[in-house]
Amino acid sequence: MIVGAALDADELWRTVDQERSSLADLLESLGPAQWDTPTRCGDWRVRDVAAHLTVAARFSTGRVLREMLRARGNWNRMIHDSAVREGSRPVEQTLSDLRAIVGSRRLAPTTSPREPLLDLLVHGQDIALAVGRTRDMPRAAARDAADRVWTMRIPPRPWPLPKARLVATDIEWARGDGREIRGPIAALLLLLTGRPEAAGEWAARNGEPWSGAATGR
C-alpha cells in the first residue's frame, strides 16, 4: 500500500509531461482506422480525444472567448465542439501539437494544474481502451486526480459522485459513505469520471480486483 502526501507542483508537472510524451508515443503507433475508433467519452473518436488534450495549452484567452461565444456561453459545449473541430485536422498535426506542449504550463481559464493531469490520465485511458491497449496509470497521480474530482466545484464537475464509499486497494485513499466499492485507484478514478464500464475493463485487463460492477449511483 502506497502512502504519502499529494504531489507538489514540480512533481505534478513532471507527470503531466511524462503522460503527454507517452501518450504521443501510443498515438504514433496507431493506424489510420484506429484514429477514428469511437471511445467511451461521449461521441468523441480517438482523434477528438487526442486533439482535446492539446487545446488548453494551445488556445489563447482570446481564442477561448471566441469558442465560448460560438458555443453560446455553454462551457461543456465549447469543450465538445472545439475538440471535434480540432480533431478533424490531420492526425499528424495533432501528434505534433501534443509533442510541442510537453513542458508547457499554460492552463485553461478557471483551472488548476490538476486539470491537465486529470485530463491526461482519464482521456489516456479512453484512447488506450478504445484501441485495445493497456496503459499504466501512476498511482500517486491518480490519487491526486481523484481528489480533484471529489472536490471539484469550478469548473463544475459534469459527473455525479457515486453514492458509495470508495476504497483504493493499491494506495492509501478512501472517500464517501455507503456501500463499499474497492479497487485500484486507476479504476476508481475512471468510475469517478463517469466511466463505470471502463473502470471494470481497466481492472480486468490489469489483473486487479474490482467490486464496482454496480456503481450505486
- For residue 178, the enclosing domain spans 9-205
Three-state DSSP at 176 gives strand
Domain for residue 117, yes or no?
A: yes
pLDDT tens digits for range 10-59: 999 999 999 999 999 999 999 999 999 999 898 999 999 999 999 999 98
Domain for residue 1, yes or no?
A: no
Q: 95: how many CB neighbours lie within 10 A of its CB?
A: 19
Domain for residue 4, yes or no?
A: no
Domain for residue 98, yes or no?
A: yes
Find out whether 155 and 75 touch, Cβ atoms under 8 Å.
Answer: yes
Find out whether 30 and 131 touch, Cβ atoms under 8 Å.
Answer: yes
pLDDT tens digits for range 137-189: 999 999 999 999 999 877 677 788 999 999 999 999 999 999 999 999 999 99
Domain count, the chain: 1
For residue 187, give the C-alpha cell.
Answer: 479504476
Domain for residue 26, yes or no?
A: yes
pLDDT(215) > 70: no
**Per the confidence metrics, is the pTM higher than 0.85?**
yes
Contacts (Cβ under 8 Å, ≥6 apart) of 7: 15, 140, 141, 144
Domain for residue 179, yes or no?
A: yes
Domain for residue 195, yes or no?
A: yes
Q: Compute the residue count for the chain.
A: 217
pLDDT(217) > 60: no
What is residue 4's predicted lDDT score, i.e. its pLDDT?
58
Domain for residue 147, yes or no?
A: yes
d(C-alpha 100, C-alpha 3), whole Å: 34
